Structure 1
Amino acid sequence: MERLVEIADRLTEVGGIVGVCLGGSRASGTHRPDSDFDLGLYYRQPLDTAALRLLAAQLTGGPVEVTEPGGWGPWVDGGGWLTVDGHRVDWIYRDLDRVHRVWRQCLAGRFEIGVQPGHPLGVYSHAYVGELAVGHVLADPGGELRELRERTRHYPEPLREALMDNARWEAPFILAGARKGAARGDVFYVAGCLFRAVGLLAHALHAHARRWVLNEKGAVRAAGELASAPAGFAGRAHGLFAALDTAPETLAAALDDADKLVGEVCARLDR
């Protein structure tokens, strides 16, 4: 951790960097020995990417590709992949003004779902807030990150209700639409609908428990560990995909199981 703080302090000397936060599995305590160190670089324009590249080269001992803002897409909007002292250290840009804007949306019960490479379910905008809420601030000269993090410790009730309401209507809706694909043996379409429905349930269960979801990875397993989850939720959810083939009757059976799971989750959301 001492080495990370040193790197974070040097990062805040770069023009545009307001603060640095450790996120991902290293922050949540779910990491493995080989897990990356995800450093969120909270910035405001103009961001001195030339200085970032110079610092990256100094830390790694050679040139490193560091993107301009927007280089990786609209939501995970850039950064760099470094190897420092034999460890993978990822720099991930976070536009701080956008984080503030998303927090205001959360308080109003609004969220966006953005298309982003590497995120098949899409990026739920409130993940920006969740990253800060569960992360560890490493460097914050002006105190802005710590102040915002303190506010985000309390999960907004309007966001909670919005995410549960979204699952209540959209999960049955998308499964009903999948029936048409099932009748034609369109396993690709049915699998996509199942994936979406399970993702909605995972988000709703976390919202019910006032827990932040940061991305799809591990979200189903984590949802299954929540007190409000139906018995065997994770295994049942994963099992929906295990035996899919192009036989209409097989696809219909998977959708029947999914409908049951949706019904059980929605019943628990109302408790």
Structure 2
Amino acid sequence: MDELIRALGGLDRVVGVGIGGSRGLRIASEASDFDLVLFRRGGERVDAREILDALRACAGVCELRDPAGFVSGRLGTHRFEIFQKDLLAIEREIGQAREGAFTWSIRQLFPHGDLSTGLISHVVHLIVCSDPDGHLERLRAAATPFPVALRAALVDTFLQQAEITVTHAAKISRRLDLQYLVGLCSGFVFFANLLVFAVNGVYPVLEKGGSLVIARLPQRPAHYEQRIAQLFSCAAAGDYPAAVAMLETLLGELRFLAVEGRRALAADESVRTRPNEAQRAGSGRGAGSG
């Protein structure tokens, strides 16, 4: 793998290489694939043909493919996939996050939406393998601590979405509306997960594996993972009253988390501003005594 990473890091315009996905999140098994991420600073994507040429020169690499420019292959017993990210786009997103701004959009593979903060997640949840000029580490440092404004915006937005979802789920009474109820349950879990990530000050992970990350976070509803599994079981079995009751209970706990999160933020902000206020007061006394 070291030779492969060196080859990728030597590509024109590639300024850093990392391992993302389940390995970057530290939730991988020994058999997990390697998601290799190439970082560049602006410009067009690195051409798949250049990547393939570099990989072919590496010992043990086989089964190379590039459907639609998406390069994958195998090294020994492990499959790998190559992804590309633009550091300038991530830098802009970090600036937006500090202002509490994000984009929520629907796209394939993300049925309840994708967040633009995912760009930051890709550089934060990463094993850095090659970063000769320190571009990745500077961006990772810029992304921390988790922005207070982003935390508030995510909590407010997705608590409201969870409330709307539960309101509509409570109106379902026909078994023929099974798909609709299951869809609402899925949407609720998506919104709830985003709120839990935000309350814990962690950039959301929307891909598979995100639930394993949530299971390690300290602030979340009690027995959260088991209750989510039970929620879908009730919905699929047609026990709509039980499913709705579970949604309403979970929503109440999310509201509590949101309130506690706001209190913690207010307390942190108060602690941060006190030294500044004391400094200003001291400066004022010094000026007056002169």
C-alpha RMSD over aligned residues: 2.3
Q: Map of 1:152-167 to 2, 5 A cutoff?
A: 152-167=143-158
Q: Map of 1:214-229 to 2, 5 A cutoff? A: 214-229=205-220
Structure 2 gap ranges (5+)? 261-290
Q: Is the 8 A contact 1:186 1:246 kept in 2?
A: no
| Structure-to-structure mapping, 1:222-261, within 5 angstroms | 222-245=213-236, 247=238, 250-261=239-250
CA distance in 1, matches of 2:80, 2:237: 42
For residues 257-268 of structure 1, the aligned pairs below 5 Å read 257-268=246-257
Superposition map of 1:57-96 within 5 A: 57-59=56-58, 61=61, 64-66=64-66, 71=68, 79-96=70-87
1:64/1:115 Cα in 2 relative to 1: closer, same or farther (>3 Å)?
Answer: farther
The aligned residue for residue 10 of structure 2 is 13
Distance 1:85 1:123 in 2: 34
Residue type of the alignment partner of 1:57: R
User: 1:53–1:63: 8 Å Cα contact kept in structure 2?
Assistant: no
Q: Which residue of 2 aligns with 1:74?
A: none
1:169 aligned partner: 160
Amino acid at match of 1:215: L
Kept in 2, the 8 Å contact 1:23–1:40? The answer is: yes
Paired residue type of 1:144 = H
Counterpart CA distance in 1 for 2:147 and 2:5 is 29
1:252 Cα deviation after fit: 3.4
- Code of the residue aligned with 1:84 in structure 2: it is L
Whole-angstrom distance in 1 between the partners of 2:105 and 2:72:
23
Q: Spell out the pairing of 1:12-31 with structure 2 (5 A cutoff).
A: 12-31=9-28
Choose the corresponding residue for 2:31, options 34, 37, 42.
34
Deviation of 1:109 after TM superposition, in Å, equals 0.9
Query: 1:15 deviation in Å?
Result: 2.3
**Contact 1:220-1:237 at 8 Å conserved across structures:** no
Paired residues for 1:131-170 under 5 Å: 131-170=122-161
Question: What is the deviation of 1:61?
Answer: 4.8
Contact 2:146 2:201 in 1 (8 A): yes
Deviations 1:110-159 (A, max 9, x none): 22233343333432221221221131221123321121112123111111
Report the alpha carbon displacement of residue 98 of structure 1 after superposing the two structures with TM: 1.8
Deviation, structure 1 residue 182: 4.0
CA distance in 2 between counterparts of 1:221 and 1:136 reads 18
Structure 1 residues 216 and 178: CA distance shift in structure 2, 3 A: farther
2: CA distance, partners of 1:159 / 1:135: 21
Partner of 1:75: none
Of 43, 46, 49, the match for 1:45: 43
Sort the Cα spacing of 1:79 and 1:158 in 2 relative to 1 into closer, same or farther, 3 A.
Answer: farther
Deviates more, 1:144-153 or 1:49-58: 49-58
- Give, in whole Å, the separation in 2 of the partners of 1:111 and 1:36: 30
Structure 1 residue 62: deviation in Å? 5.0
Change (3 A) 1:53 1:239: same
TM-score by length of 1: 0.85
- CA distance in structure 2 between the aligned counterparts of 1:58 and 1:185, rounded to whole angstroms: 57
- Distance in 2 between residues matched to 1:120 and 1:95, nearest whole Å: 24
Paired positions, count: 257
What one-letter code is carried by the residue in structure 1 that aligns with 2:243?
A
Equivalent residue runs for 1:201-220 within 5 Å: 201-220=192-211
Deviates more, 1:116-125 or 1:93-102: 116-125
**Structure with bigger gyration radius:** 2
Secondary structure of 2:146's counterpart equals: coil
Q: Distance in 2 between matches of 1:62 and 1:226?
A: 39
After TM superposition, the runs of 4+ consecutive aligned structure 1 residues lying more than 6 A away are none
Percent sequence identity is 25
**Distance (whole Å) between structure 1 residues aligned to residue 38 and residue 214 of structure 2:** 28
Structure with the higher helix share, 1 or 2: 2
- Cα deviation, residue 181, structure 1: 4.1
- 1:119 maps to 2:117: no
Which residue in 2 is equivalent to 1:128? 119
